């Protein structure tokens, strides 16, 4: 399998970990931003809404852009959203950064899924997609416990 496929899977893992890790951090975020845990839980919902809305929208826009440029822009928006989110003491701004990072995640995933199938011969497309999506699988297993560990530290 091409090295680029593993790098795409790593990007999917990082983005997925960020998505799932938040669940373990909700009590700490609620305390830090002086909101209830239920209100802090809206951060998870905001990410989900961003993914639901962002997936078809970003897939439509990403078709027209060069794949590498789209991946880079999505990674930069994702990283920038997280930097701003980590530094803000304002819950509403954190909520906005969650939606923006979800849009970037959706865009990257849309492009990565199509790229994964172009990196390999037709008879290896299923394997390529499974390698790419293993990033999400591993993030699911690692993300929540890592968030809980960080939240208690």
User: Can you list the domains of the chain with their CATH numbers?
Assistant: 3-152 (1.20.1250.20)
The pLDDT of residue 59 is: 81
The pLDDT of residue 24 is: 83
Alpha-carbon span 93 to 108, nearest angstrom = 22
Mean pLDDT per 10-residue run, the chain (153 residues)?
Answer: 93 89 88 94 93 87 87 95 94 95 93 91 94 91 79 74
Left if phi > 0, otherwise alpha if psi is -120 to 50, otherwise beta: which for 86? alpha
The pLDDT of residue 62 is: 78
Q: Burial, 107: exposed, middle or buried (Cβ in 10 Å; 0-12, 13-18, 19+)?
A: buried
């Amino acid at each position: 399998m091409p090295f680029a496929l593993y790098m795409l899977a790593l990007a999917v893992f990082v983005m997925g970990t960020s998505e799932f890790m938040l669940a373990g951090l909700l009590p700490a975020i609620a305390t830090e931003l002086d909101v209830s845990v239920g209100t802090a839980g809206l951060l998870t919902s905001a990410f989900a809404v961003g993914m639901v809305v962002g997936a078809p929208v970003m897939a439509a826009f990403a078709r027209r852009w060069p794949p590498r440029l789209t991946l880079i822009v999505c990674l930069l928006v994702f990283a920038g959203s997280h930097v701003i989110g980590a530094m803000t003491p304002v819950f509403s701004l954190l909520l906005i950064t969650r939606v923006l990072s979800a849009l970037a995640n959706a865009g990257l995933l849309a492009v990565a899924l199509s790229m994964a199938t172009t990196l390999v011969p037709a008879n290896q497309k299923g394997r390529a997609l499974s390698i790419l999506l293993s990033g999400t699988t591993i993030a699911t297993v690692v993300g929540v416990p890592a968030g809980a560990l960080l939240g208690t530290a």
